Amino acid sequence: MNITVTKPFTPPIAEFQAYLKGIWDREWFTNNGPLVNELELRLKDELDVNHLLYISNGTIALQIAIRALDLKGEILTTPFSYVATTSSIVWENCVPVMVDICKDTLNIDPSKIEQFITPRTTAILATHVFGNPCDTEEIDLIAKKHGLKVIYDAAHAFGTLYKGKSLLAYGDIATCSFHATKLFHTIEGGAVVTSSPEILKNMAMMRNFGHTSATEFGGLGVNGKNSEVHAAMGLTNLKYLQDILATREILCRQYKLNLTNLPVVFQKILPDTQYNNSYFPVIFQSEKILLQVMESLNLNSIYPRRYFYPSLSELPYVNNQTSPIAEDISRRILCLPLYHTLSSEEIDMICRLIKRSIRY
């Protein structure tokens, strides 16, 4: 059997089917159904946030966030994230300006932000990379000083607490992904989170084509809704969140014990963080060693992934910007397999192969 970089958490099928039976009985499959509403309420309680909307996916969540804040011009962002972070900015007719990352946390480096601020800058869009908190205090100070909005791409951050609060509670808007690869998923899905009732109202309108009533429109919108079937998967999975988090912590601890004495570097998690262990990234000394490791693992039907390669500063539509640290890290970082059913024996085998590759 292949060991892939991730596998979806699969709850007991009978529990999911019980929700499906209710959907069939109601004949209500989409358009703000009762399970969508229940999931939103349950997520608000779980995350202890003021306002949350369930969205069709994490990319649409980012686009709605940008448009809800009426952003124009330049948005300062990270070159080390999934491509959706940058493409959403471009899709919304804004200009991504890459601010290089901290080599330890892998997040946007606050000390480098102000040098990129111009009269055209309207916002900072930072990613909590692999669920590791950005320096939200410093980013908030910079944003207030320069009158900028802050969006956090929290696609990886579900379940992480920073200073006792969910990471989704920070920023003007935080966005999340509930894609099947995430530790909490709804097969496809995402969320936007805000503390502002006005921003919430605007995003709710945008999520549903701009409708303010059945026959009236308050502005431009998209189809950002999600279905009852996807919400059913979310409600089923949410029951197992603490078990999922606990299992991932055990698996990641075992990886670290196996790899600590090797010439590799682990991401530095910000202090005051209760981390969700959403990924297990390893930074090797060179791209050559990374490729040796990948080849060895692949020959044994083990498939890690190069998150995030290439650096987003190297995309063809970002005007040849350079981010030396992100570009260097992106060539040397590899996310090892991590999912709920990964066994202790499989981790030991993966680590043995890595050790042999490095010593080769």
3-state helix, strand, coil in the chain (%, to 5): 40, 15, 40
pLDDT exceeds cutoff 70 at 129: yes
pLDDT tens string 262-283:
999 999 999 999 999 999 999 9
Tokens describing residue 257: 């014990």
CA dihedral sign of residues 254, 329, 309, 143: positive
List the domains of the chain with CATH numbers: 13-100+108-238 (3.40.640.10), 240-359 (3.90.1150.10)
User: DSSP class of residue 13?
Assistant: H
Question: Distance (Å, rounded) from C-alpha 236 to C-alpha 10?
Answer: 9
Q: Is 360 a residue whose pLDDT tops 60?
A: no
Interval 209-224: pLDDT, tens: 999 988 999 999 999 9
Tokens of 246: 């606990």
Q: Is the pLDDT of residue 194 over 60?
A: yes
Handedness of CA 136, 141, 142, 143 (dihedral sign): positive
Asked if residue 338 has pLDDT above 70, the reply is: yes
Mean pLDDT of 52-70: 98
3-class DSSP state of 158: coil
Give residue-wise pLDDT tens across range 167-184.
999 999 999 999 999 999
Q: Which of 350, 336, 249, 240 is nearest to 6 (CA)?
A: 336
The closest alpha carbon to 23, from 283, 192, 236, belongs to 236
Q: What is the mean pLDDT of residues 15-36?
A: 97
Task: Report the predicted TM-score, pTM, of the whole model to 2 decimal places.
Answer: 0.96
Residue 1: pLDDT over 90:
no
Q: What's the rounded Cα separation, in Å, for the pair 178 and 184?
A: 6
pLDDT tens by residue, 341-359 = 999 999 999 999 999 999 7
